[in-house]
Amino acid sequence: MPAIFKSNLNLLVTGYGCCKQDIFAVQGALYDIQRFCINFVNTPEDADLLVVQGFYNKEGITRVLNIYERMSNPRGVIAVGTCVLNKNLFSKDSKLLDWFRSVVKIYMYVPGCPPRPEAFIYAVLRILDES
Amino acid sequence: MLNILKKIFFILLLSGLNLYICEYFSNKLTSRMELRRGYRINKEVSIGFPMIRFLKILSNDRKISIWTVFIFILSFLIWCAVPLSSNLVLVENDYSLIISISLYFFLVAALLFNLSESSYRKIFSENTKKLLILITFMVPVLLSIISIILINKTTSLKEIVNSQYRYWNILIQPLGFLTFFASTSLQFKLLGVSRKGYLSEGTGIGREGKGLDKVVEKISVYMIIFFLIIIMALVYLGGWQNLYVINGGIMLALKFYLIFFILLLIDRIIVRIDSYKMLVKINLRFLIPVSLVNFIVTFGFFILRDVYNLI
Amino acid sequence: MDNNNNKTYPLPGVVFREEMKSDLEFILKDKVDRITGTGFDLLIELPPENLYVVVKELKENPRLRANIFGGMNACKNNKRNFLLINLRSAYNDLSVLLKMEMQNDDIETGYIEAANILEEFYKAAAFYKRTSRIARCDFNIEIPPGILDGLDCFDINIYADEDKVKEAYIDTCVSRVLDYEFYRDMKIYNLIAIINRFDWKAGIFPELCLCSAIEKLLQLKPTKRARYIRMLLCELYRISNHIYFILNICNILQYDIAYSMCHLERERVLGLIETITGSRVAPNFIRIGGVKKNIEEETLADIRKNLPLLFENIRKIEKIMTEDFLIIERLKNIGIISKDTALEYGVTGPNLRASGARNDLRKDNDFISYGDLSFTTPVGREGDCLERVIIRFREIFQSLRLVNQIINNFPEGDYIKKINLPHLEFQPGAISQDIECPHGIFKIYMEVGEKDIDSLVIKGPSMNSLILGGEIIKGESLEDIDLILMSLDISPGEIMNTQYKTEY
């Protein structure tokens, strides 16, 4: 029974950035993430995992934190791409992102600019195995 | 008394089992329209996930309203007059078809009332629009049902099934079956049975509500579709006695899953229809005229045959 | 007007521009500081207090009639602060950049003042005024940024009566992530590596625009093979972008079968791109004077093998989409853009062509060597959502035809002219470059010092589409908003804008 509970993750992709199209390419028939029972949703209440990617300003980070608070049963946060890992590509100061990383615990980092779809699938499967 | 409890238990078990199987297949088919790499289950743990879907939502929140209770009761009460096999029926009387159709109507109305609680206005307006369109799709269903009643001269589902011992009603009422089926498949699309909102910005029924509310809505949506499929299988494709070797229950299950899969496949190849423009194009210009023609022809046939005894 | 916009072959541009320059110098004699010719446009430098007079003259003089408002950008760095306003004319080839030098640090107030002045002449300029959201509380629906690529860079505030949209206001506060000086301390090759994020649906075009601007400054012409490789990549990215557009439309329509077929075809095209550049969405492939890598014979054979498959499958998708009466009913007669409206708001590219104006920079002002190849520019008539979908299909087929011609006539020779980039010395000056990207005309304006780039302004075409999108959803019903905005093919990277220093 615990093995059954582990499966069936709902992902919510937030943010605004170029990693998004490679994350969504995972839905296609070539990569097909749904064979692992992983779905994409667009309401925070249904989501288990939050995927954070792309460029953020103050407004954007406030919205992501708002979404994170609305998630009823969060299993973790995945950070995708160099912009969230290190610093924004087009902005020199990384104060805002440092603060964000200190507020929210990020379970998995997917490096790459942008990462390939296989890398994203690998990260999600690692979370499935570890939890 | 014990007998009735046993029947209730069996009906609940059957509907729960069907809920589970249909949720599983509709989930699986969504990812595998192309079926490029064949149909196979990669991880055996994934078998359990439709159930988990329900359980998980249930554990989060316990918000409940009076309409939720109504919807929950109605979605199981809808089975009381429908005979799943020759023995498995709770209420046996001569008006079972009318009772079940009116329960179906009440269920849709309760869904509509439940939406009036929603606070986010865009979702509220879209969902209300969807359900109002759904109610207009009930007109072809009602017209084809009335034609069937006129043909068979009875309102009891059991007698309608028994009267088809030589040939199915679909041979006498092809237009009626066509409108019934089209209406069912469009309701399937409208209710968003197989679509979990993967990235689609469109808001489905039960998108916003969370907790128990949402589970009940989901169950009721499935029950509406199951009910329509069962009625279709009983009224148009039931009771042909040349295949008496096979048990009637098994035959009904086969028909049920066949129709469900055809509906799932049709769901993939039509676009969403939740706008009044589409309603006018599909329903008012095609489905309702065709079902009206069918009804008028049947009514004329009925008058000639039974009132004046000409045929 | 029709004659000028429906032309197939351009006027002799350079001669005309010189003539126009002397005209402008005569008309705007004492109101402006200087008029110079950059690569594509005329640059008019003027003091901020003369803006009203100059714009009035440009708009109302019957010889100029600059009726298209291209856009407005602010540029601020340690050397100079200026505002850049782009005005064009639909009646002749006039395209001017108004440059206003500002005093230190008051560029944000100057921006709002300029927008207020421009609003009297152009409706689209009202978008650039920063109105605070608290002041506009008469809206009753707020739609947050969506999940889909293209709807995620703005939120819409709507005042709706029943389910008809009466008033709409688009706020792009989420996408204000740029620093004013992100290119400072950056070498040119670093800039080439990151500039493709300004249009991440088709990453090759910003790189190409930047490199051809620098090449124009150095008066360097790449070899024939390099130009053909560039054209090949451009067309492959155009196909990929248009398939992605159709995929998103199918997703909103919940048309699952075409959605998954589009995914497969997009992966096929991205696979071809990956064999050439080594990356899916951020190519980093164009270099000054050529391209990064040569294309091998096997890659060409691979493309040759895949072309018929692509053609067949996209034809199949087109057939199932355009023969379905439900889709036609759904898309027809919503989001109609007339030709005049599209021109007025400065929309370019397929969106303008769907409204009936023949405007293709590949034909009009050949920036690589499209003159060697034969293709047609598809033009629509109605300007509704269906027309915009159909025009993308027709452009995909034209691009496939172009790719076929390119790989069949692939020239021999070097793929790059080697230059010594660290010791490069420019002649200081300003240059602007236009390019036909899949969404419209992509524009880069830059000023170079002796060694590096002093100021850089990047302006994508999607901003104009978004402003027009805010206009045309008025009067439509609530359920069509997503569809209309998605049918304008907004690339989120082009909406990316500079951050506010002060909260409004």
Report the percent of chain B where pLDDT is more than 70.
76
Chain C residues close to B270, C-beta within 8 Å? 255, 326
Cα–Cα dist B295/B205, whole Å: 32
The residues pairing with C327 across neighbouring beta strands, listed in sequence order, are none
Contacts of C499 in chain A (CB under 8 A): 57, 91
List pLDDT tens digits, range C172-222: 888 888 888 888 888 888 889 889 889 889 989 999 999 999 888 888 889
Task: Tell me if B59 is assigned to some domain.
Answer: yes
Give the pLDDT confidence of C132-153 residue by residue, as tens digits.
555 566 777 777 787 788 888 8
Question: Is residue C118 located within the same domain as residue C241?
Answer: no
Weakest mean pLDDT among B55-59, B86-90, C385-389? B55-59
Whether residues C121 and C215 share a domain: the answer is no
Cis-peptide into A114, omega within 30 deg = yes
State pLDDT tens for residues A12-48.
888 888 888 899 888 888 888 877 777 787 777 777 8
Highest mean pLDDT among C253-262, C298-307, C446-455: C298-307
pLDDT at A31: 85
Among C486, C482, C428, C478, CA closest to C462: C486
Of C146, C257, C480, the CB nearest to B269: C257
> What is the H or E stretch that residue C256 is in?
helix C256-277
pLDDT value of residue C405: 94
Percent of chain C at pLDDT > 70 equals 94
Number of CB atoms found within 10 A of residue C493's CB:
25
Give the model's pLDDT for residue C231.
93
pLDDT of residue A33: 81
B162 pLDDT more than 50: yes
**Phi and psi angles of residue B272, each rounded to the nearest 5 degrees, phi first:** -70, 145
pLDDT classification of C425: cutoffs 50, 70, 90: confident
pLDDT tens across C107-132, in order?
778 888 888 899 899 988 888 886 65
Number of domains, chain B? 1
Residue B39 lies in a domain: no
> Between B301 and B53, where is the model more confident?
B301
Instruction: Flag if C330 and B278 touch (Cβ within 8 Å).
Output: yes
Q: Any idea where the domains of chain A sit in the sequence?
A: 2-119
Average confidence (pLDDT) over C329-358: 90
CB atoms within 10 A of CB C227: 21
DSSP string, chain B: -HHHHHHHHHHHHHHHHHHHHHHHHHHHHHHTSS-TT-S--S-GGGGGHHHHHHHHHHHH-----HHHHHHHHHHHHTTSSS-SSSS--S--STTHHHHHHHHHHHHHHHHHHHHTT---HHHHHHHHHHHHHHHHTHHHHHHHHHHHHHHHT---HHHHHHTTSSS-HHHH-HHHHHHHHHHHHHHHHHHTSS---SS--S--TTSS--THHHHHHHHHHHHHHHHHHHHHHHHHH---GGGTTS-HHHHHHHHHHHHHHHHHHHHHHS----SHHHHIIIIIIIIHHHHHHHHHHHHHHHIIIIIS---
Q: Are residues C269 and C404 in the same domain?
A: yes
Model confidence at B45, in pLDDT bands (50, 70, 90)? very low
Mean pLDDT value across chain C:
86
Question: Which pLDDT value is given to residue B29?
Answer: 64
Quickly name the fold that domain A2-119 has: Rossmann fold (3.40.50)
Q: Mean pLDDT, to the nearest integer, of C471-487?
A: 88
- ipTM, two decimals, is 0.92
Local confidence band at C10 (pLDDT 50, 70, 90 cut-offs): very low
pLDDT at B122: 63
Question: Does the residue B66 lie in any domain?
Answer: yes
Q: What are phi and psi of C260, to 5 degrees?
A: -80, -30
Out of C143, C256, C325, the one facing B268 most closely (by C-beta) is C256
Closest by Cα among B214, B224, B7, B2 to B108: B224
- pTM given for the model: 0.89
Contact B42 A35 (CB under 8 A): yes
Q: Which of the two residues, B1 and B189, has the higher pLDDT score?
A: B189
pLDDT-based confidence at C8, cuts 50/70/90?
very low
Report the pLDDT value the prediction gives residue B37, as an integer from 0 to 100: 36
Q: Is residue C255 part of a domain?
A: yes
Rounded Cα–Cα distance for residues C21 and C256 (Å): 54
pLDDT of B6: 87
Instruction: Calculate mean pLDDT across residues A108-127.
Output: 90
Q: Which of A50-64, B74-88, B168-182, C343-357 has the lowest mean pLDDT?
A: B74-88
pLDDT for residue B111 is more than 60: yes
Chains that touch B (3 or more CB pairs under 8 A): A, C
Residue C480 located in a structural domain: no
- Which residues of B fall within a CB distance of 8 Å from C261? 34
Asked whether residue B54 is domain-assigned, the answer is yes
Structure tokens given for A118: 């296989």
Query: Is C151 in CB contact (< 8 Å) with chain B?
Result: yes
Indicate the residue among C78, C101, C128 that finishes a domain: C128
- Give pLDDT, residue B36: 38
Please indicate if any CB of chain A lies within 8 Å of the CB of B94.
Answer: no
Structural domain harbouring C56:
2-128
If asked whether residues C387 and C240 sit together in one domain, one would say: yes
Task: Dump pLDDT digits (tens) for C236-257.
Answer: 999 999 999 999 999 888 888 8
Which residue among C409, C434, C459 closes a domain? Answer: C434
Which residues span the domain enclosing B176?
A: 2-33+44-307
Locate the DSSP E strands across C29-80. 34-37, 42-46, 68-76
Assigned domain for C489 exists? no
- Coil/strand/helix, residue A67: helix
Q: In chain C, what residues touch B268 (CB-CB under 8 Å)? A: 256-257
Query: Is there a domain that residue B38 lies in?
Result: no
Domain end marker among C434, C461, C476: C434
The number of distinct structural domains making up chain C is 2
User: Quick one: CA torsion of B122, B126, B132, B138, rounded to 10 degrees?
Assistant: -160
Query: Which of B27, B47, B196, B200 to mutate: most A Cβ within 10 Å?
Result: B196
Closest Cβ opposite residue C179 in set A25, A90, A113: A90
The pLDDT mean for chain A works out to 83
Which of A67-76, B238-247, B258-267, C26-35 has the least mean pLDDT?
A: B238-247
From the list B30, B121, B202, the residue facing C141 with the nearest CB is B121
Helix axes B288-302, B174-191, angle to 10 degrees: 150
**Burial track C292-313 (b if 16+ CB lie within 10 A, e otherwise):** beebeeeebeebeeebeebeeb
- pLDDT of B196 reads 53
- Chain-centroid distance, C-alpha C104: 30
A22 touches chain C (CB under 8 A): yes
Are A37 and B200 inside 8 Å of each other by CB?
A: no
- pLDDT, residue A42, reads 74
